[in-house]
Each structure stands twice: as C-alpha cells, then as structure tokens.
C-alpha cells in the first residue's frame, strides 16, 4: 500500500523544566522533559455566495503544537463537516489558530448549535448518546480483510519504537495506522488521544488517502467512545488498543461494524466485537 509515511513534523512537543525529584530517602534538583499543551482554535470560512454563513469558530481544543492543519481537518471530517478534499480552498495556520476556507460545502454550519470546547482528555463534550453519533457513521466497513494474531501482537512494539515524544516525556498519546501486512503508514502523537487520531485522519484526508478501509488502527492507550466514532468515519475496520475499551466504545464498535481489540500487549489481546476479521 503506497501511503506517504508522514511520521513527524519536526516540531518539539515537549519542553525542559527544573523539578525537585524525591526518591524515597532524599531529594535533588533535576532537569525534566514535559509535554507541551496549548489551545488551538479551529475556524472555518465559506467563500461561496450562500447567505447563511460566512465564518464561524468551530472548536477550541487543548493540543500538542504541531500538525495543526491535519488536526483541524481531521476534526472537521470526523464531525461530518468536511466530506471531500475539493471543499477546501486554502488553510492558514498561525501560532494557535487554524483558518480553513471552504467552497461548495453543503452543510449549514449555523445548524451546529454547540460550540465545541474540548479538553485534552475528552473529545466528545456535548454528545450524550450513541444515536447522536451514528447519524454520521452509517458506512459499510470492509468485511473481507483478515489479519493474524501473530501480526497483531507485533504492532505495539513497532508503534513504541516510533513514539519519539513519549520516549522523551512519558506523557503523550499515539495513534498508528498499519496496513494488513503490518507496515506502519502514519503515526501521530498528542497530549489528547482524540487529537492524535484527528491528526492521523487529517493526514489521510489531505493526502486523499481516505477511506482507510484496508487498515488497522493502533491506539497507545485506552479505546474510548470518541475514538471509535472517528475510526468509523474514516472507515477503519479494525481498531486495537494497548489499554481497555469503555462500554460505549464496545457498543459503538458493534453497531458500526468495527472489530475492536483491547489489552493488546505482552502477546495477548481481547476481542470485543466482530471477531471474524481476526485469525487466531
């Protein structure tokens, strides 16, 4: 699969600070690396003549700086606001804002009653039920792909080796996209697990590689509801997490046709939905 392996943007997502470290018997001043976190405002402006919208601030999210265009586009795609690359005329990114200029965008954005505000720990503020998400995720996922358990259990180590910021700070999430041969296609890191996935999906959108319907998504932490929603929008048929899935994540995976795995580590995993894609 000839995806562009867009790994890192070269921007540091951490900074060095002085700390007082206590080791049980004594304390000392040390230099430590901590993950950067700052707000990003996502704004969208319509360039056509439709009267009901000219511009709107869509989201404020706490994120790791870097790959902001991908984050913004991935978020708008996963929310059903953007549907194809031709809708984007241009994107302008400044220090803490991204402006996306669109044309022929069929959605009346004034109908979006909620102003998305997300912290780095929650990507689904304001969504109270699976039904509200399933409006945009009624897509038929690929039922034909199969992947072996041996290949699956090899993926976390591959992802870990590429987690540059996590290896520095220990405080950042990763999302990795693999093909069914186990080749790593994209990897992103962010303090927010939902941001890491939005960046990954945004890369695919901007490189015109969506849908990811022959791929496996690996999450470095737990599998939460909003991550399964985003995976469904990108038509990812298999989602694996190093950590545990939530009950709503399992329910949404079952309804949307996703094979969901959890606790993928130390040569073991649990399968929670659509077992048939995994050869055990």
Name the nearest CA neighbour of 226 among 113, 79, 39: 79
Cβ-based neighbours of 55, under 8 Å, separated by 6 or more: 43, 44, 45, 46
Helix (H, G, I), strand (E, B) or coil at 60: strand
Name the nearest CA neighbour of 56 among 121, 103, 100, 3: 100
Separation CA 163–CA 39 (nearest Å): 22
Q: Which of 105, 122, 125, 215 is catalytic?
A: 122
Helix (H, G, I), strand (E, B) or coil at 137: coil
End-to-end CA distance of the chain: give it in Å, rounded: 24
Separation CA 191–CA 212 (nearest Å): 23
Structure tokens at 197: 């996935």
DSSP letter assigned to residue 85: G
Q: Is 105 a catalytic residue?
A: no
Catalytically annotated residues: 122
């Amino acid at each position: 699969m000839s995806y562009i392996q867009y790994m890192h943007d070269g921007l540091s997502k951490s900074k060095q600070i002085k700390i007082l470290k206590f080791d049980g018997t004594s304390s000392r001043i040390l230099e430590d690396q901590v993950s950067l976190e700052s707000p990003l405002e996502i704004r969208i402006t319509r360039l056509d003549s439709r009267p009901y919208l000219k511009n709107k601030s869509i989201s404020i999210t706490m994120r790791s700086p870097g790959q902001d265009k991908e984050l913004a586009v991935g978020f708008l795609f996963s929310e059903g606001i953007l549907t194809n690359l031709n809708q984007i005329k241009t994107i302008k990114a400044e220090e803490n804002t991204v402006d996306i200029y669109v044309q022929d965008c069929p959605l009346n954005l004034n109908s979006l009653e909620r102003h998305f505000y997300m912290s780095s720990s929650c990507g689904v503020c304001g969504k109270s039920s699976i039904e509200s998400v399933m409006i945009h995720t009624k897509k038929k996922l690929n039922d034909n792909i199969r992947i072996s358990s041996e290949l699956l259990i090899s993926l976390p180590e591959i992802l870990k080796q590429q987690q540059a910021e996590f290896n520095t700070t220990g405080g950042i999430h990763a999302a990795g996209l693999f093909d069914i041969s186990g080749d790593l296609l994209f990897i992103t890191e962010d303090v927010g697990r939902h941001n890491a996935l939005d960046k990954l999906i945004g890369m695919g959108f901007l490189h015109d590689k969506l849908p990811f319907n022959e791929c496996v998504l690996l999450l470095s932490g737990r599998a939460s509801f909003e991550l399964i929603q985003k995976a469904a929008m990108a038509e990812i048929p298999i989602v694996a997490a190093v950590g545990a899935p939530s009950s709503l994540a399992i329910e949404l995976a079952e309804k949307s046709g996703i094979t969901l795995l959890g606790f993928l580590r130390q040569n073991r995993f649990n399968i929670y939905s659509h077992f048939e894609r995994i050869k055990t």
